[in-house]
Structure 1
Amino acid sequence: MRSPHAVVLLGLNYSPEPTGIAPYTSGLATGLADSGFEVEALVAHPHYPEWTIKEGYGQWLATEGSRGVRIRRYLHYVPRSPRGIRRLLSELSFGLRLICARWGDPEVVIAVSPSLFATAMATLRLRLTRSRSKLIVWVQDIYTLGLSETGEGSGLVGRLTRWVEAWTLRAADSVVVIHSRFADYVVDEFGVEPKHVTVIRNWSHLPTMETVDAADARKALGWPADVTLAVHTGNMGVKQGLENVVDAARLADERHASVHFILVGDGGERKKLQNYAEGVSRLTFQAPLSNSAYHLALSAADVFLVNEKPGVSAMAVPSKLTSYFHAGRPIVAATDPNGIAASEITESRSGVVVPAGDPSALLNAVLEMDSTAGRTVLYGRNGQEYRNKVLGEGVAINCWLRLLESLTPRR
């Protein structure tokens, strides 16, 4: 029997994963539950960004509850190196678990992409069974752009991905995107009706915490003192192009510059990056941190880094920016000046943009931040204001509530 305000959320990533899409998927689920919806999340076991299943998880099927949300976790294939055919098989294995699962008869199904192919399989199930459930596809990344911008999808692979992505989005009752440029793309390139597209920004998901002195935070983490700390957090994947940061640190060694780069997190490219960074002294790789330690990392930094591979400009909105804005530190973004990440820095007035793939420009920008204290304080304040006005969680959840009301008016 159909529950009056039931929502099923399908997503590969969910809490307790600390970074990427998981905080938004779990945040939406709990936000809807707090607003009176019956919410069930069908998700994978936590595995990101390390790409290995977290200790204590890994059962074929596990059920739990958290903050009013019923959570069902499904075991799927998790490749250590999530590229190419291995990444596809991972998504297909999760999609197979979803189409074989019991969903009940919810009013709304919200499918999160990534993963695209699991979302496509779920969409096919809904349409073949002629379900009465309304389908919302929540687009966090655009696969077609990702393949073209990273150079990983050409020929048949690229055409197939484009067809699957376009069909999936056109088959949805509503498409939610996290940036206005995504909205333009899905309308212009995939033929989605503009009236079916809604922009709802990702939000700053970090709780307000007591300010920690930078020196104390560095001491607690064992990070260098008395130098400029440039910190990058989050996934270490292909699109981040973090070889550029390694090269900037190597150049800092040559110049004997008073700076140290910290790469916080994990990902499919971490081992390769560590090998590439052998012998570089002004660079530290930091394993993923707990929530409390991550707060220390945000407090310890002098400058935050966004780095994207040359050619990457429109495929994704870096989720790390919401945390950076929250922390009130200046940002240096090494990226395409016409891309989404650059537009976020410019609109928020929270830092500077330098060309992607130019380690000298990256290093110079970091060092210049250290020499202009008044401007860096202003950048930090601007980022916090942008976070409060544009990226508030309450703003986003209210947008979701209005969308759900429009699709399934409450009786």
Structure 2
Amino acid sequence: MPQPSSTLVFGLNYPPETTGISPYTGAMSAGLARRGHRIRALVAHPHYPDWEVRSGYGQWSRRENLDGVIVDRMLHFVPRQPAPVPRALSELSFGVRQMVARWGKPSTLLAVSPALLSTALVRARSLLTHRSTPFVIWVQDLYALGLVETGQGGGLTARVLRQVEGWLLRSASMVVVIHDRFADRVHEDFGVPRDRIAVVRNWTHISAMPQVDVPEVRRRFGWSDDETVVLHTGNMGVKQGLHHVVDAGRIAHDRGQKIRFVLVGNGAQRDQLQARIDERPTSTAILPPLGDREFAEVLQAADVLLVNELPGVAEMAVPSKLTSYFASGRPVLAATDATGITAQEVLAADAGITVQAGDPTAILEGATRLAADPEQAERFGRNGRVYRETVLDETFAIDRFDSLLADLTSRTGEKRPS
């Protein structure tokens, strides 16, 4: 009787974290487990986007079984403020924990990047102790490019990280990316052969949204029926450039326009954003992270869903919030680089409009434009749902991972699970 395929997953973020990369790593691992794979994940304690280990966690080591996946959590250094140096130390401390852990004899190794530095340490060990085991890197963000686009890394730091990232990607048995544009960058910038790059799109990680009582939800959150609510969800970090949204709310307040900007979530820039809001009147407010039900409710109760990016951010990432936005049936406003991945995604789905990144007036005018044309807004919402149900399908994505892992293990002489 052939043994089922086994995969050891390395990832910094894992459920119960609800934002960023975590839902995808968790869903992929659980999906493969449902398909008969033996999956074990070496991950950190939940700490993102608050940059604080969640209550109840924080043991040196902790084992859980989540949705059929053996999850081994390891304590590492979590900085209160994830500036570049503390964040690098955080990744290195986590990478050391992963390196010295017991790996066993998995059929495949699958590392999620970021975190780049911990993944590089894992890859170094794999070349020493598991050289014949296929090593897959699942690229969610292009790390060195992200530092350059957000202005956080230049000179020697950027060159070193670029070298590390290039070595890591070229050394992998397979590089899985989440968008065709990523595939182009990995091939052209780092010299990874096309036949070792696979595109597996991220999917909507929340279930189909139930119908909600929109007036009741709006009353609960203090939103009046005659104002336009523009909602931004997720991480509040550097690359989101949310100070421009606060300024857009200030302009709306000064003009007397009934437009409310709401930022839902947490992150390294939250306190700075709150201080900016408190400086002088603005129609921008911050809400804490919400549970799955309330999150689905506010998405559907808002009038416009906002993706906001720092000027210059164009190629480093595909915002994970887009998958949830499309599922909600609400129109999307993307304040982003017109040539970047985010703009391409919104336009490909025909689910909203784009405006220039870093321009508070353009953000406000884009929201006003969507609010002024309910028929167009409804059409954008329908199109987003169709895109989610076709292009961004979870079953297809996990089936693709299943197939990729089976192909890699078959090359090493291992039979597929029966």
TM-score (structure 1 length as normaliser): 0.98
Aligned pairs (5 A) from 1:65-214: 65-214=65-214
Q: CA deviation at 1:37?
A: 0.1
Q: What's the counterpart of residue 227 of structure 2?
A: 227
Q: CA deviation at 1:224?
A: 4.4
Alpha-carbon distance in structure 1 between the residues aligned to 2:28 and 2:53: 23
Query: Could you report, residue by residue, the CA deviation over 1:132-170 in whole angstroms, capped at 9, with x for unpaired residues?
Result: 321100000001110110111111101100000000111
Alpha-carbon distance in structure 1 between the residues aligned to 2:224 and 2:115: 38
Q: CA deviation at 1:223?
A: 4.0
Aligned-residue Cα RMSD (Å) equals 1.2
Q: What's the counterpart of residue 262 of structure 1?
A: 262
Q: What's the counterpart of residue 361 of structure 2?
A: 360
Query: Could you report, residue by residue, the CA deviation over 1:96-121 in whole angstroms, capped at 9, with x for unpaired residues?
Result: 10001011110011100010000000
State the SS of the aligned residue for 1:230: strand
State the SS of the aligned residue for 2:110: strand
State the SS of the aligned residue for 1:333: strand
Query: Could you report, residue by residue, the CA deviation over 1:12-57 in whole angstroms, capped at 9, with x for unpaired residues?
Result: 0000101100000000000000000000011000011111111111
Q: CA deviation at 1:225?
A: 4.1
The answer to whether 1:38 aligns with 2:44 is no
Segments of 5+ residues of structure 1 without an aligned counterpart are: none
Paired amino acid for 1:351: G
Aligned pairs (5 A) from 1:374-393: 374-393=375-394
State the SS of the aligned residue for 1:145: helix
Q: Comparing 146-155 with 339-348, which one deviates more in the overlay?
A: 146-155
Q: 1:224 to 1:121 in 2, by over 3 A?
A: farther
Alpha-carbon distance in structure 1 between the residues aligned to 2:386 and 2:48: 30
Q: Comparing 153-162 with 122-131, which one deviates more in the overlay?
A: 122-131
Segments of 5+ residues of structure 2 without an aligned counterpart are: none
Alpha-carbon distance in structure 1 between the residues aligned to 2:53 and 2:153: 27
For the 8 Å contact 1:218–1:296, the answer to whether it is kept is no
For the 8 Å contact 1:221–1:296, the answer to whether it is kept is no
State the SS of the aligned residue for 1:239: helix
Q: What's the counterpart of residue 11 of structure 2?
A: 11
State the SS of the aligned residue for 2:238: coil
Alpha-carbon distance in structure 1 between the residues aligned to 2:384 and 2:281: 31
State the SS of the aligned residue for 2:176: strand
Count of matched residue positions in the alignment of Structure 1 and Structure 2: 410
Q: CA deviation at 1:4?
A: 3.7
For the 8 Å contact 2:209–2:328, the answer to whether it is kept is no
Q: Comparing 209-218 with 17-26, which one deviates more in the overlay?
A: 209-218
Alpha-carbon distance in structure 1 between the residues aligned to 2:3 and 2:327: 37
State the SS of the aligned residue for 2:239: coil
Q: CA deviation at 1:396?
A: 0.4
For the 8 Å contact 2:14–2:26, the answer to whether it is kept is yes
For the 8 Å contact 2:246–2:282, the answer to whether it is kept is no
For the 8 Å contact 2:277–2:285, the answer to whether it is kept is no
Q: 1:108 to 1:224 in 2, by over 3 A?
A: farther
Query: Could you report, residue by residue, the CA deviation over 1:351-377 in whole angstroms, capped at 9, with x for unpaired residues?
Result: 000000111111011011111000000
For the 8 Å contact 1:107–1:132, the answer to whether it is kept is no
State the SS of the aligned residue for 2:406: helix
Percent identity over the alignment is: 49
Q: What's the counterpart of residue 370 of structure 2?
A: 369
Paired amino acid for 2:379: L
State the SS of the aligned residue for 1:391: coil
Query: Could you report, residue by residue, the CA deviation over 1:229-269 in whole angstroms, capped at 9, with x for unpaired residues?
Result: 00000000000001110110000011110110100000001
Q: CA deviation at 1:193?
A: 1.1
Q: CA deviation at 1:180?
A: 0.6
For the 8 Å contact 1:43–1:73, the answer to whether it is kept is yes
Alpha-carbon distance in structure 2 between the residues aligned to 1:169 and 1:3: 30
State the SS of the aligned residue for 1:188: helix
Paired amino acid for 2:374: A
Q: What's the counterpart of residue 320 of structure 2?
A: 319
State the SS of the aligned residue for 2:240: coil
Q: What's the counterpart of residue 338 of structure 1?
A: 339
For the 8 Å contact 1:137–1:172, the answer to whether it is kept is yes
State the SS of the aligned residue for 2:49: coil
Q: CA deviation at 1:321?
A: 0.1
Q: What's the counterpart of residue 399 of structure 1?
A: 400
